[in-house]
C-alpha cells in the first residue's frame, strides 16, 4: 500500500489528506495530522473520495439534462 499526502479538493479550506492506494486504485483516505488547516480531521465530503474515484463508478457518456432525467427515471422503474 502506498500513501500520498495531498490537499482535499472539495472546498476552500484545503485540508490535508493522506491518500492510500494500491496500484492505480484509491483504497482509503484519512486526514493528515501534520496539516495546519485540519489537524487530521476530515468532513463528510473529504472522507469519501475513495468511494467515488473508481473508474467503473463514473459516467462514461455525456448526457443532456433530458436524457439524464430519462435515464434515472427508467432505472427507477426497473
The DSSP secondary structure of 7-76, one letter per residue, reads: E--SSSS--EEEEEEETTEEEEEEE-TT-TTTTT---TTTT-HHHH--GGGS--S---HHHHHHHHHHHH
Instruction: Give strand ranges (E) for 8-61.
Output: 16-22, 25-31
pLDDT at position 5: 96
pLDDT digits (tens, 9 = 90+) for 11-31: 889 999 999 999 888 888 999
pLDDT at position 72: 82
What is the rounded CA–CA span in Å between residue 30 and residue 72?
32
Mark the ranges of the chain whose per-residue pLDDT is less than 70: 53-63
Rounded to 5°, angle at Cα 71 from 68 and 76? 130
Amino acid at each position: 500500500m502506498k500513501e500520498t499526502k495531498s490537499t482535499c479538493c472539495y472546498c476552500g479550506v484545503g485540508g490535508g489528506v493522506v491518500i492510500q492506494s494500491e496500484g492505480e486504485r484509491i483504497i482509503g483516505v484519512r486526514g493528515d495530522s501534520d496539516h495546519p488547516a485540519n489537524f487530521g480531521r476530515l468532513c463528510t465530503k473529504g472522507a469519501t473520495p475513495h468511494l467515488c474515484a473508481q473508474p467503473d463508478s463514473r459516467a462514461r457518456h455525456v448526457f443532456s439534462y433530458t436524457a439524464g432525467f430519462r435515464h434515472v427515471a427508467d432505472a427507477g422503474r426497473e
